[in-house]
Amino acid sequence: MIGEQPRAGSIGLVDEDLTGEIIGAAMSVHRELGPGLLESAYQASMCRELTLRGIPFQSQLDIPVEYKGLRLDCGYRIDLLVDNQVVVELKSIERFQRVHEAQLITYLRLSGVHVGLLINFNVPALRQGIVRRVL
């Protein structure tokens, strides 16, 4: 798994509590900013909101691809890795396509993380823009 160790006592949070905290942070951002902005605005706002809530995360984390022992620098980046336990991919798009879920699944597989959230801020109600996947 990439990055630092999870905070003490958070191992059991992955299924419900931690993803609930992340979704709560995203809802706060969505309530404040609404839909229609660029992904970069939501990225910066999510970083601020997670910081204010004391939730550890890494932003724009490079994720290497390895092929037969060769490490390839392909420029893949995870938007947010929260508490070293949840991959969060942020979008501001009209609607999810299969490729967006495939991207999340690939990032989970490459990072060794088992839980991922795909969050689309370009929706009237944020609950319509959240997909959770577990490997």
Kindly state whether residue 42 falls inside one of the protein's structural domains.
Answer: yes
Residue 117 per-residue DSSP state: E
Predicted confidence at residue 4, as pLDDT, reads 42
Kindly state whether residue 54 falls inside one of the protein's structural domains.
Answer: yes
Kindly state whether residue 3 falls inside one of the protein's structural domains.
Answer: no
From CA 90, how far away is CA 43, in angstroms rounded? 7
From CA 119, how far away is CA 71, in angstroms rounded? 29
pTM, to two decimals:
0.86
Kindly state whether residue 1 falls inside one of the protein's structural domains.
Answer: no
Q: Is the predicted pLDDT of residue 66 greater than 90, yes or no?
A: no
Question: Which tens digit of pLDDT belongs to each residue from 117-132?
Answer: 999 999 999 999 999 9
Number of compact structural domains in the chain: 1
